[in-house]
Amino acid sequence: MNRKSVWAIVAGVLFIIVVTTAVDMVLHMVQVYPPMNQPLDDRLAALATAYRVVIGVAGAWLTARLAPDRAMRHVIILGVVGTVLGLIGLVVTWDKGMGPRWYPILLAVLALPQSWAGGWLFMRQQASKA
């Protein structure tokens, strides 16, 4: 894997982390979310899941856009990275009372499908330009 390939994947990961963290912070500041030391309830975890999926698709689209070739291979790698990070989050937070237990499970499960969706959107755009 060359530097451009690695950069494409790292850019997708960084985009997803930075944007989701920014949205989280804004939702805490405007008091949609409770203070940082309080857990999210099911409703707020569903909200977080929804925008994380959208941001994840966008991050995968970015990875596909930056990939020097084989865009879908790059977004699948991004999805695997997301799944691994999601599983780490699941293990680290399991008994911490940080919110519903389904939430980190769902984030890990959705990482690959949302990455595939971002890659599919990019490939569809490319095909329509041709």
pLDDT by residue (tens digit) across 6-54? 999 999 999 999 999 999 999 999 999 999 889 999 999 999 999 999 9
DSSP class per residue in 55-66? HHHHHHHHHHHH
> Using CA atoms, how far apart are residues 27 and 30, in angstroms rounded to an integer?
5
Percent of the chain with pLDDT over 90: 91
Do the beta carbons of residue 72 and residue 119 sit within 8 Å? Answer: yes
Q: Which domain holds residue 15?
A: 3-129
d(C-alpha 63, C-alpha 100), whole Å: 30
pLDDT band at 68 (very low <50, low <70, confident <90, very high): very high
Distances (CA, A) of 22 to 28, 43, 80, 121: 10, 20, 23, 24
Chain-wide mean pLDDT for the chain? 96
Q: Side-chain half-sphere of 6: how many Cα atoms within 13 Å?
A: 3
Give the chain's domain count: 1
- pTM for this one? 0.94
- Is the pLDDT at 104 greater than 80? The verdict is yes
The total of other beta-carbon atoms located within 10 Å of residue 66's CB is 18
Judge contact between 123 and 65, C-beta under 8 A: no
Q: From 50, 65, 105, 66, select the one nearest 83 (Cα to Cα).
A: 105
